[in-house]
Amino acid sequence: MSTGNRSGMPGFLVDWAERMNGSHRKMGDYEFSVTETLKDPTAIILRRRHFNDIVNDLQDTADSNAGTAVHESIEADLKNAGWITEKEVSSVFKVLDGVEVEICGRLDAYDPTTGTLLDIKNTKIATYNKSASGDDDDWKHQLNIYRHLLIAEDPSWFMTVDEMKILARITDLSVVKEKMAGNSIDKWRLLPIEIESGTESIDKALATIAQVISMKDLSDEALPICSDKYRFATKTWKIYGFTKDGKPKAKAENGHASYQSLAEAEEGFKKAGFTENDHTIKEVGGESLRCRYYCDVKDFCPHYKKMMEAKNG
């Protein structure tokens, strides 16, 4: 994995970006990071297989690298205040009839006084909202896996995790815009994360690892596409009329409008006074936002290539 510099920025910026990206290393075949287990198996396999060829341009990683710098700065203050920071944890588990795998991670910060486990995130508001509403459980799994690793490593360890929290810095909210609209917007947010009573999170991680191991010899082309949820897949619906022989017409009848949900399309259908005899609603595809904007292995992914070919005709 290397840092690209397509716009010819000064060398010190490349050095800084590489330092901020320093925690990215190629993992061993049976070694998995906690954050890696939150990905889909195909993304994990492609990243491991093409690791040395991945180029992250510093223009594309500007936000995440700035986030890492903020992260480091806060951790330094927490350390001075007596928190334990950047603690490495790992433990070995058995999957698939006895194959031993190691799950490892690094806790951002732990406060021995209050028993608080804290993870610092720089995140988009949509991601934050999905986690806060329970639509996405990645953060919950991540922190519960850390806690599980702590306990697996040393059950008698003096640390007791009494509460877990995400300290989120929202990166894409415009304070000026929101204030002009009369809204009060908090860019910093503290989100409590539920401590699970069982082993749901570690079980989910081990299931993902088992899939990676069982699929690791498949060619890139044979790997399954990542799930809709992982790809942040959006769907689109359109209303079509019929040709004389009863097939949906190639062109939409409602000014080519696309609807982002089936419910909206059905409402549009009703408002226009259409009936099932003269019109129909069809799902016409959509966009996989992670593939397009956030996946660093998209250049090696046959599914992404097919998506682009379909989009560009």
DSSP string, the chain: -EEE-TT---HHHHHHHHHHTTT--PPPTTEEETTGGGS-HHHHHHHHHTGGG-EEETTTTHHHHHHHHHHHHHHHHHHHTT-EEEEEEEEEEEETTTEEEEEEEEEEEEETTTTEEEEEEEE-HHHHHHHHHTS--HHHHHHHHHHHHHHHH-TT-S----EEEEEEEESS--HHHHHHTT----SEEEEEEPPPSSSHHHHHHHHHHHHHHHHTTS-GGGSPPPPHHHHTEEEEEEEEEE-TTSPEEEEESSTT--BSSHHHHHHHHHHTT--TTTEEEEEEEEEEHIIIII-TTGGG-HHHHHHHHHHH-
Name the residue nearer to ligand SF4 (CB basis): 148 or 231.
231
Name the residue nearer to ligand SF4 (CB basis): 18 or 60.
60
* Contact in structure between 147 and 117 (CB atoms under 8 Å): yes
Name the residue nearer to ligand SF4 (CB basis): 186 or 299.
299
CA 142 to chain centre: 12
Judged by CB under 6 A, the residue of 17, 34, 38, 46 near ligand SF4 is 46
For position 290 contacting ligand SF4 by CB under 6 A, the verdict is yes
Judged by CB under 6 A, the residue of 58, 107, 265, 295 near ligand SF4 is 295
Judged by CB under 6 A, the residue of 167, 213, 226, 239 near ligand SF4 is 226
Judged by CB under 6 A, the residue of 121, 147, 231, 279 near ligand SF4 is 231
Judged by CB under 6 A, the residue of 121, 140, 148, 298 near ligand SF4 is 298
For position 44 contacting ligand SF4 by CB under 6 A, the verdict is no
Long-range contacts of 132-137 (CB under 8 A, 24+ apart): 132/191
For the window 238-277, what string marks contact with ligand SF4 as x by the rule CB under 6 A? ----------------------------------------
Name the residue nearer to ligand SF4 (CB basis): 7 or 52.
52
Angle at 308 between CA 300 and CA 250, to 5 degrees: 155
Minimum CB separation of residue 113 from ligand SF4 in Å reads 41
Number of residues that bind ligand SF4 (CB under 6 A): 16
Q: Which of residues 51-110 bind ligand SF4 (CB under 6 A)?
A: none
Judged by CB under 6 A, the residue of 288, 309, 311, 312 near ligand SF4 is 288
For position 45 contacting ligand SF4 by CB under 6 A, the verdict is no
For position 297 contacting ligand SF4 by CB under 6 A, the verdict is yes
Judged by CB under 6 A, the residue of 3, 37, 42, 127 near ligand SF4 is 42
Minimum CB separation of residue 289 from ligand SF4 in Å reads 9
For position 211 contacting ligand SF4 by CB under 6 A, the verdict is no
The binding site for ligand SF4 (CB under 6 A) comprises 40, 42-43, 46, 225-226, 231, 288, 290-291, 295, 297-298, 301, 303-304
